[in-house]
């Protein structure tokens, strides 16, 4: 069984990879992780127990954002910018019917999605509150 140290090292390695893709040198900051609306197999915000925030990215923001497809079988390599977003959308559309969730011993259930990795502050346009506040 994987322990939490191994998991944390894996996450640090993933974030280091993202920072290298983005030419970022500050290793103390992390990222905002999101997904593209409609390009995931996650719960609908109305049934998800936590908060869901909606935001839009403009073209220049997209050019400094990492995109990749997360799936048990059909992972797509992370890329940066509009071309990476386009590749992720096309990849998702061709593979979504065969995509599957998988279980991580530490993080739990990992659901297929287009992962959006944001390294800068964003402004949300709307949100769905956590279940306790509905």
- Model confidence pLDDT, tens digit, residues 49-105: 999 999 999 999 999 999 999 998 877 889 999 999 999 999 999 999 999 999 888
Determine the pLDDT at residue 18. Answer: 95
For residues 11 and 126, the model is more confident at 126
Determine the pLDDT at residue 1. Answer: 47
For residues 116 and 103, the model is more confident at 116
Each domain of the chain, given as residue ranges in start order, spans 4-133
- CA angle at 130 for the pair 128 and 134, rounded to the nearest 5°: 80
Distances (CA, A) of 45 to 50, 128, 130, 132: 8, 7, 9, 14
């Amino acid at each position: 069984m994987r322990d939490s140290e191994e998991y944390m090292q894996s996450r640090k390695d993933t974030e280091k990879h993202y920072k290298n893709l983005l030419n970022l040198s500050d290793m103390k900051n992390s990222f905002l992780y999101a997904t593209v609306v409609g390009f995931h197999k996650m719960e609908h915000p109305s049934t998800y127990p936590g908060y869901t925030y909606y935001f839009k990215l403009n073209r220049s923001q997209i050019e400094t954002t990492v995109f990749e497809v997360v799936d048990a079988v059909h992972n797509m390599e992370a890329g940066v910018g509009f071309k990476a977003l386009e590749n992720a959308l096309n990849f998702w559309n061709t593979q979504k019917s065969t995509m599957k969730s998988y279980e991580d011993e530490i993080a739990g259930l990992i659901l297929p999605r287009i992962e959006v990795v944001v390294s800068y502050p964003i402004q949300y346009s709307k949100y769905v509150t956590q279940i306790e506040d509905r």
